[in-house]
Amino acid sequence: MTSTKEFHTTLNEATSYIKKQIDFQPTIGIILGTGLGSLVDGIDMVGTVDYDKIPHFPVSTVESHAGRLLFGTIKGKKVVCMQGRFHFYEGYSFKQIAFPVQVMKSLGMETLIVSNAAGGMNPNFVAGDIMLIKDHINFFPGNPLIGPNDNNWGDRFPDMYEVYNQGYIKMAKEVAAEQKLRLQEGVYVGLTGPCLETAAEYRMFRGFGADAVGMSTVPEVIAAHHQHNKILAFSIITDMGLPDNMHPCSLDDVIGTASRTEPKLRDLIAGCVERM
């Protein structure tokens, strides 16, 4: 098991490398999900750092994910963006998945914005909707906070009160209304993948109270919440998982819907960042 001291050394090496490449202190971190990579079009870029150059950083294996940190401004606010994220189904541990979030925190992050592609289970949703995540269910078989805890970072037993910042939720709804965007709101359940769900599983998760299901976000959000970041998260509903109306669903469908929806999400995120 990695001790807290060893972990700090690892984190310092990663952070120092990045700081040597780029003299920039972002306060907002953004994780771009599947097919949402071109959200970067909304960033006035200052520089990039490839994941594979950063000591101890995991490296992305999914083709649709680039793999670098982008530094720049959105509406004048300093951001660091993860272009490409890490999934449990790729074989990464929860600690590895959380590491980039902890690196962004060390660089100055106070707010984390997360986006993902998800299957919709609420029958009021349609593919192409954007869902504001108001809460989550951790259905992953683990948690990035298992192991020694650094009390300077966060509590041993973090409470999960208002993980998704209530002020941001209200703000996102206002921005969506201004932009005349239909914004859904709901609970995200995160699980391993890589299989999509069976009809019986969709029925079960819906019964649990979840509105959307996906393979990411929860580990990163837990790590970010542990370190007292304010969190705002969105799912693009790329396909519907309605147990009584099942259809085949391909990765092309998921990426196609995500790409078609992303200009709306880009504007929504830009509108939110402007007000942060």
Q: Distance (Å, rounded) from C-alpha 144 to C-alpha 239?
A: 28
Q: For the chain, give percent helix, strand, coil, nearest 5.
A: 35, 25, 40
Nearer to ligand HPA, 31 or 215 (CB): 215
Q: Which of 35, 89, 42, 103 is nearest to 65 (CA)?
A: 35
Nearer to ligand HPA, 197 or 262 (CB): 197
Q: Distance (Å, rounded) from C-alpha 18 to C-alpha 50?
A: 10
Cα R_g (the chain), whole angstroms: 18
Q: Distance (Å, rounded) from C-alpha 92 to C-alpha 193?
A: 13
Nearer to ligand HPA, 129 or 239 (CB): 239
Nearer to ligand HPA, 54 or 254 (CB): 254
What's the min distance (Å) between Cβ of 239 and ligand HPA? 5
Asked if residue 211 lies in contact with residue 144, where contact means CB atoms within 8 angstroms, the answer is no
What's the min distance (Å) between Cβ of 238 and ligand HPA? 5
Nearer to ligand HPA, 70 or 131 (CB): 131
What's the min distance (Å) between Cβ of 138 and ligand HPA? 15
Site residues, ligand HPA (CB under 6 A): 117-119, 193, 196-197, 213-215, 238-239, 241, 254
Q: Distance (Å, rounded) from C-alpha 113 to C-alpha 22?
A: 21
What's the min distance (Å) between Cβ of 201 and ligand HPA? 9
Q: Which of 39, 164, 31 is nearest to 99 (CA)?
A: 31
What's the min distance (Å) between Cβ of 243 and ligand HPA? 12
Structure tokens at 190: 């995160």
Structure tokens at 65: 């994910």
Nearer to ligand HPA, 22 or 249 (CB): 249
What's the min distance (Å) between Cβ of 235 and ligand HPA? 9
Chain position whose Cβ is nearest to ligand HPA: 119
Backbone dihedral angles phi then psi of residue 20, each to the nearest 5 degrees: -70, -30
What's the min distance (Å) between Cβ of 88 and ligand HPA? 12
Q: Which of 148, 136, 137, 112 is nearest to 224 (CA)?
A: 112
Nearer to ligand HPA, 177 or 246 (CB): 246
For residue 24, the 8-state DSSP code is: -
